[in-house]
Amino acid sequence: MRLINRRPGAGAGRILALIPFVLVLGAYLVGSAARLAETPNDKLLPSLASLGAALQRMAFSIDPRTGDILMLVDTEASLYRLFAALAISVAIGLILGIAIGLLPYMRAGLGAFVAVVSMVPPLALLPILFITMGLGEASKIALIVIGVAPVLIRDVALRVGDLPPQQMIKAQTLGASTWQIVLRMVLPQTLPRLIDSLRLQIGPAWLFLIAAEAIASESGLGYRIFLVRRYLAMDVILTYVAWITLLAFLMDRGLALLQRRAFPWFAAARATG
């Protein structure tokens, strides 16, 4: 049988999915054990026990200096920035994306501008943001918005342009105004597609967040990672990286679930094209 026609069963598929995780974890444990056997104080590849201790220290006990649970405080600060920035980006992406995708005048006026702006490397703008907006929350949120919003705008504009022209004609023959077309046709059909591109933008959003927190911040997951870097505290860094990955993964799953629940028509409509 050809390779393209061979499929794993349900159980085999689950095992296959686990294999790479197990392999990476195994490689880490072997490497960690080997290094610790040579130098018991090695900090580079901490053992599972010291990772657990770091988790216990950061997430389940109160920091004597600040009186807070550090991981909780960091997570709150980071998620506040991230969600605020994503909400602003989604609003901008929807409004400008639909306008550019639907209205020829907006496309003529803004299409090229957005295409150019989306090519500006956001991290290169970070100093400008710090200078103009200060070191507070605004500059960090602005960085994420600058990184994410142009992509969302362009993606929404493309999706709106992909709607079959027959639908536009049909809506007009039902007497719809431009505003009604936006409200009843374009917006509901764009939202599930926006969720797709938002899922892809979660990675970049975290990147910009951690970059901003690393440079100038007093709290946040990225701040903590770059703070403890000075003490070579790999146990804390690895714990935080795993936690950030878990958060991003849960956001991705959550959005996928939201898409399925809120837009039950979408999967079938996408399949039949």
**Applying CB under 8 A, which residues contact another protein?**
164, 166-167, 169-177, 179-180, 183-185, 188-189, 263-266, 268-269, 271-272
Are the C-beta atoms of residues 86 and 235 closer than 8 Å to each other? no
User: Least CB distance from residue 90 to another protein, whole Å?
Assistant: 19
User: Least CB distance from residue 167 to another protein, whole Å?
Assistant: 6
* CA distance readout (Å), 211 to 122, 134, 139, 207: 11, 16, 12, 6
CA-closest candidate to residue 234, choices 76, 75, 53: 53
DSSP state of 67: S
User: Least CB distance from residue 263 to another protein, whole Å?
Assistant: 7
User: Least CB distance from residue 195 to another protein, whole Å?
Assistant: 14
* Cα-based angle 195, 74, 253 (whole degrees, multiple of 5): 25
The structure tokens listed for 272 are 């039949």
Q: Is the CB of 110 or the CB of 171 nearer to another protein?
A: 171
CA-closest candidate to residue 238, choices 40, 44, 56: 44
Q: Is the CB of 28 or the CB of 263 nearer to another protein?
A: 263
For 88-98, b/e burial (b = at least 16 CB within 10 A) is bbbebbbebbb
Are the C-beta atoms of residues 244 and 221 closer than 8 Å to each other? yes
Q: Is the CB of 39 or the CB of 173 nearer to another protein?
A: 173
Q: Is the CB of 120 or the CB of 269 nearer to another protein?
A: 269
Rounded Cα gap, residues 148 and 14, in angstroms: 33
Q: Is the CB of 170 or the CB of 229 nearer to another protein?
A: 170
User: Least CB distance from residue 254 to another protein, whole Å?
Assistant: 21
Strands (E), 90-175: none
Chain-centroid distance, C-alpha 95: 20
User: Least CB distance from residue 168 to another protein, whole Å?
Assistant: 9
DSSP state of 265: T
Rounded Cα gap, residues 178 and 171, in angstroms: 10
The structure tokens listed for 87 are 């909400």
Q: Is the CB of 5 or the CB of 272 nearer to another protein?
A: 272
User: Least CB distance from residue 156 to another protein, whole Å?
Assistant: 16
The structure tokens listed for 8 are 């794993």
User: Least CB distance from residue 197 to another protein, whole Å?
Assistant: 18
Q: Is the CB of 41 or the CB of 166 nearer to another protein?
A: 166
Q: Is the CB of 125 or the CB of 176 nearer to another protein?
A: 176
